[in-house]
Amino acid sequence: MKVEFYKHNIGQQDIDNVVEVLNSLFLTTGEVVSEFEYKFSQYLGSRYTVGVTSCTAALHLSLLACGIGPGDEVITTPMTFIATANAVLFTGAKPVFVDVEPETGNINTDLIEDAVTPRTKAILPVHLYGQMCDVRKIKEIADKHNLSVIEDAAHAIEANRDGIRPGQLSDAACFSFYATKNITSGEGGAISTNSKEIAERLKKLRLHGMSKGAAERYSKKYEHWDMEMLGWKYNMSNIQAALLLNQLENIEKRWQRREQICQMYEEAFEEDLGVTCLKVLPNSKSGRHLFTIQVAPDKRDEVVRQLEERGIGVAVNFRAIHLLTFYRQAFGYKRGSFSIAEKIGDSTITLPLYPKLSNEEVQYVIKVVKEVTTS
Ligand SMILES: Cc1ncc(COP(=O)(O)O)c(C=O)c1O
């Protein structure tokens, strides 16, 4: 049997929506983007959404919108995709890592205050695999030290912790619509915020710092525009937004199927001594973006190889980023710097998880994982 690591869910309605845009006059940022932004905010329960071209762009612009720049420090986690820390570097600031919790892989909030220095300007938690960090506690620490909070919610659109959703307590939450994400436009991203001021700044920053976007320039008589600040070229297009609209409508249904699959995996591996799973806390609804298992670190690469040989698509999310060559060389990190993140990074394997995965395929993955981890 061949089980793909990921299969997207683009259907006829999504294709029709894109064709409608392609047959229209306006391909770039216009009304369809505004419609998506409005609906995304409604879904999240936050005031404003700004559509961009990736979560990396969303992180970069959110940091800039919060005034982060050269000489500043931003506290974040080494258990994430490199985009999180790279975005901090794009601004000229320095990512300062804090180790993670062994049960969830999320930043250990008990360690954050020790990392605060006079240069610290923001905390950038990552909601790993879809489970939210304790944003309430992070916000308390941030308020005490006058720091911004920017959430990397690339995995966590559907998440909720203690009734709080991404973007509700922080300055900004950043989302990804990359090819394998819970909803996707191939590439894409968004920022959600409750701050009008931040939203307005983000809208300028996503398009060169221009005072008027393309839709505004088109829909009114010509007026000169100004460049008010240095911005980037990160604006979401109507084509991307059209692809997302219908997926957003079906987001909860698709989440339910992923939740079901995760529960099948969790039950199957509960009694298994060779395989452990991270925990979803009782006060938390995980976005269930990725399902990972942990195996003995000295067996991990061999287990990955054998799963692939038996037709199962797998990934490793993530090897702790402070140990990657660039971060070692730039900041002198060594093994032992963040031991919990390293342990997860050395033992983790991501299994297939998407609504199109059949029960039969899930059972096959479980059977093969058990066989290769006990052999
Ligand atoms: C935790 C996390 N943050 C940020 C990103 C970057 O997202 P994008 O590819 O949309 O830039 C990813 C992408 O996989 C991610 O997993």
**C-alpha 153 to ligand 1 mean position (Å):** 9
Q: Which residues are catalytic, by number?
A: 181
pLDDT at position 214, please? 76
Atom of ligand 1 nearest to the CA of 58: 11
Atom of ligand 1 nearest to the CA of 56: 11
Atom of ligand 1 nearest to the CA of 126: 1
Average pLDDT over all residues of the chain: 97
Burial class (CB in 10 A: 0-12, 13-18, 19+), 42: exposed
Asked if pLDDT for residue 215 goes beyond 80, the answer is: no
Q: How far apart are CA 127 and CA 101, in angstroms?
A: 12
**C-alpha 111 to ligand 1 mean position (Å):** 24
Check if 126 has its Cβ closer than 6 Å to any atom of ligand 1: yes
Q: How far apart are CA 122 and CA 105, in angstroms?
A: 20
Q: Which of 314, 179, 191 is nearest to 247 (CA)?
A: 179
User: What does pTM read for this prediction?
Assistant: 0.97
Atom of ligand 1 nearest to the CA of 57: 11
Place 223 in a pLDDT band, splitting at 50, 70 and 90: confident
Check if 150 has its Cβ closer than 6 Å to any atom of ligand 1: no
Q: How far apart are CA 218 and CA 17, in angstroms?
A: 22
Asked if pLDDT for residue 147 goes beyond 80, the answer is: yes
Residue closest via CA to ligand 1's atom 14 equals 81
**C-alpha 176 to ligand 1 mean position (Å):** 6
Atom of ligand 1 nearest to the CA of 80: 1
Asked if pLDDT for residue 370 goes beyond 90, the answer is: yes
Q: Which of 69, 39, 48, 45 is nearest to 200 (CA)?
A: 48
**C-alpha 236 to ligand 1 mean position (Å):** 16
Give the DSSP H or E segment for 205: helix 196-205
Check if 83 has its Cβ closer than 6 Å to any atom of ligand 1: yes
Residue range 216-228: mean pLDDT, rounded: 85
Which residues share a beta bridge with 94? 73
Place 272 in a pLDDT band, splitting at 50, 70 and 90: confident
Place 66 in a pLDDT band, splitting at 50, 70 and 90: very high
Asked if pLDDT for residue 278 goes beyond 90, the answer is: yes
> Could you count the other beta carbons within 10 Å of the beta carbon of residue 330?
12
CB 292 within 8 A of CB 277: yes
Residue range 192-201: mean pLDDT, rounded: 98
Tell me which of 176, 292, 348 to substitute to probe ligand 1's pocket, judged by most ligand atoms within 8 Å of the beta carbon. 176
Check if 346 has its Cβ closer than 6 Å to any atom of ligand 1: no
Which residues share a beta bridge with 100? 107
Residue range 263-269: mean pLDDT, rounded: 97
Place 220 in a pLDDT band, splitting at 50, 70 and 90: confident
Asked if pLDDT for residue 300 goes beyond 90, the answer is: yes
pLDDT at position 73, please? 98
Distances (CA, A) of 6 to 145, 152, 236, 351, 356: 42, 22, 24, 9, 9
**C-alpha 224 to ligand 1 mean position (Å):** 36
Lowest mean pLDDT among 74-88, 184-198, 272-286: 272-286
Q: How far apart are CA 257 and CA 176, in angstroms?
A: 20
Check if 287 has its Cβ closer than 6 Å to any atom of ligand 1: no
Asked if pLDDT for residue 305 goes beyond 80, the answer is: yes
Asked if pLDDT for residue 362 goes beyond 90, the answer is: yes
pLDDT at position 96, please? 98
Residue range 335-354: mean pLDDT, rounded: 98
Residue closest via CA to ligand 1's atom 7 equals 55
pLDDT at position 212, please? 82
pLDDT at position 167, please? 96
Read off the pLDDT of residues 4-62 as tens digits, 9 standing for 90 and up.
Answer: 999 999 999 999 999 999 999 999 999 999 999 999 999 999 999 999 999 999 999 99
Q: How far apart are CA 232 and CA 61, in angstroms?
A: 8
Place 375 in a pLDDT band, splitting at 50, 70 and 90: confident
Place 273 in a pLDDT band, splitting at 50, 70 and 90: confident
